[in-house]
């Protein structure tokens, strides 16, 4: 009887030890599962941080402001001015058709210098903060980049190459220092024409002595053997106005019959108000089949002084003809 009691006692002790070991193993397993859950949550948080559209928008806004501050060379006051202009650009962009589509332009390397080759990069981002990757041709190009100096003396109409992934690049030079306003015109695939704008600063001597543009007394200019005359009808703010260019031989005065299309049209006209707040990029309805005239219809948004750069082609060469006009 005594031996049976001892055996029973030993069995009870062994069973208790085994149960304790099972409970310890279960606790360790639970702790391991908890660690996996925490790691998974941390991983999700990291993913949300990198894919959140708002986070991407903030980084884009920071990059844009940084680019403007790096370009500026006039100290804190100029930096503040550049940031203010950047905010104006974003606010107006939200109001334009196209919602929050952004164009971020910056020099590829370092500050911009007068007379030196500079590579500019333009990134097009959609409303979700992700790159827009497909674009439709607009007058034979995917993107038209207009760059104008603050005094309206320097003008560029260039066409960056497309790298893919929403990134465009172009090489250019600047003839004078100071601030330049740029305008990017493009059409996302399946969408409509969008214009975005911003500012760049070029290191070097600016043309501080340039007088404010005044209306031209004569709307006739001679460029590269061509006499170009501009007639403006009904130049009233808020109403349809027609700009008609007539081309004659500079020496003989005879109307030309060999004008050519430029980028799929009879010409292009870029119009900018003196305060650089109103921008128009106008194309004619007709093509040029050797005719001596090209007409453009537009609506000036407000009264004031405007500068218009007309661009036309003859014998494979593009001529740019600027005129300053007043709208009543």
Answer yes or no: same fold for 55-203 and 220-327: yes
pTM: 0.70
pLDDT given at position 208: 63
Assess contact for 64 and 104: CB atoms under 8 A. yes
How high is the mean pLDDT of the chain? 75
Secondary structure (DSSP) of 84-96: HHHHHHHHHHHHS
Whether pLDDT at 315 is above 60: yes
Phi and psi, residue 17, nearest 5°: -65, -40
pLDDT given at position 291: 86
Residues of the chain by 3-state class (helix, strand, coil), percent to 5: 25, 40, 35
The DSSP call for residue 213 is P
CATH number of 220-327: 2.60.40.1940
Q: How many residues does the chain have?
A: 328
pLDDT given at position 86: 24
Which residue would you say has higher pLDDT here, 227 or 61?
227
Whether pLDDT at 256 is above 50: yes
pLDDT digit string (tens) for 70-106?
232 222 222 222 222 222 222 233 334 356 899 999 9
Q: Of the candidates 172, 71, 168, 185, which has an alpha carbon nearest to the alpha carbon of residue 119?
A: 172
Whether pLDDT at 294 is above 70: yes
C-alpha torsion angle, residues 52, 53, 59, 60 (rounded to 10): 160
Q: Which residues pair with 46 in a beta bridge?
A: none
Mean pLDDT of the 177-186 span: 97
pLDDT digit string (tens) for 148-171?
999 999 999 999 999 999 999 999
Instruction: State CA 140 to chain mean position distance.
Output: 18
Mean pLDDT of the 216-241 span: 96
The pairs formed by 96-99 with CB atoms below 8 angstroms and a separation of 24 or more are 96/194, 96/195, 97/192, 97/194, 98/191, 98/192, 98/194, 99/127
227 torsion bin: left (phi>0), alpha (psi -120 to 50), beta (else): beta
In the chain, the percentage of residues whose pLDDT exceeds 70 is 69
CATH number of 55-203: 2.60.40.1930
pLDDT band for 3, please (50, 70, 90 cuts).
Answer: very low
pLDDT digit string (tens) for 11-35?
333 334 333 333 333 222 222 232 2
Q: Which residue has the tokens 């009543």?
A: 328
Other CB atoms within 10 Å distance of the CB of residue 82: 23
pLDDT band for 212, please (50, 70, 90 cuts).
Answer: confident
> Hey, which of 84-88, 234-238, 252-256 has the most confident mean pLDDT?
252-256
Whether pLDDT at 54 is above 80: no
Q: Of the candidates 155, 315, 318, 302, which has an alpha carbon nearest to the alpha carbon of residue 239?
A: 302
Gap between the Cα atoms of 321 and 269, Å rounded: 9
Provide the residue ranges of all domains of the chain, joining segments of one domain with +.
55-203, 220-327
pLDDT given at position 314: 95
């Amino acid at each position: 009887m005594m031996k049976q009691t001892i055996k029973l006692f030993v069995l009870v002790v062994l069973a208790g030890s085994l149960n304790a070991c099972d409970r310890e193993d279960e606790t360790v397993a639970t702790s391991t599962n908890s660690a996996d859950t925490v790691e998974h949550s941390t991983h999700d948080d990291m993913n949300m941080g990198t894919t959140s559209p708002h986070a991407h928008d903030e980084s884009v806004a920071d990059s844009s402001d940084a680019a403007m501050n790096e370009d500026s060379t006039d100290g804190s006051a100029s930096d503040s001015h550049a940031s203010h202009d950047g905010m104006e650009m974003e606010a107006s962009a939200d109001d334009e058709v196209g919602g929050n589509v952004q164009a971020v332009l910056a020099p590829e390397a370092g500050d911009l210098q007068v007379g030196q080759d500079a590579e500019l990069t333009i990134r097009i981002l959609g409303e979700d903060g992700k790159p827009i990757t497909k674009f439709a041709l607009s007058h034979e190009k995917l993107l038209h980049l207009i760059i104008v100096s603050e005094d309206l003396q320097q003008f560029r109409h260039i066409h960056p190459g497309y790298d893919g992934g929403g990134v465009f690049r172009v090489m250019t030079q600047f003839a004078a220092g100071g601030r330049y306003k740029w305008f990017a015109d493009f059409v996302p695939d399946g969408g409509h024409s969008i214009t975005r704008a911003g500012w760049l600063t070029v290191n070097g001597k600016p043309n501080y002595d340039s007088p404010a543009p005044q209306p031209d007394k004569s709307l006739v200019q001679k460029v590269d053997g061509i006499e170009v005359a501009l007639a403006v009808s009904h130049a009233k703010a808020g109403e349809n106005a027609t700009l008609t260019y007539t081309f004659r031989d500079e020496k003989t005065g005879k109307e030309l019959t060999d004008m050519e299309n430029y980028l799929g049209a009879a010409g292009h006209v870029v119009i900018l108000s003196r305060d650089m707040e109103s921008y128009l990029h106008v194309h004619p309805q007709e093509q040029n089949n050797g005719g001596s005239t090209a007409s453009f219809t537009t609506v000036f948004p407000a009264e004031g002084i405007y500068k218009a750069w007309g661009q036309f082609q003859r014998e494979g060469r593009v001529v740019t003809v600027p005129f300053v006009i007043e709208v009543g």
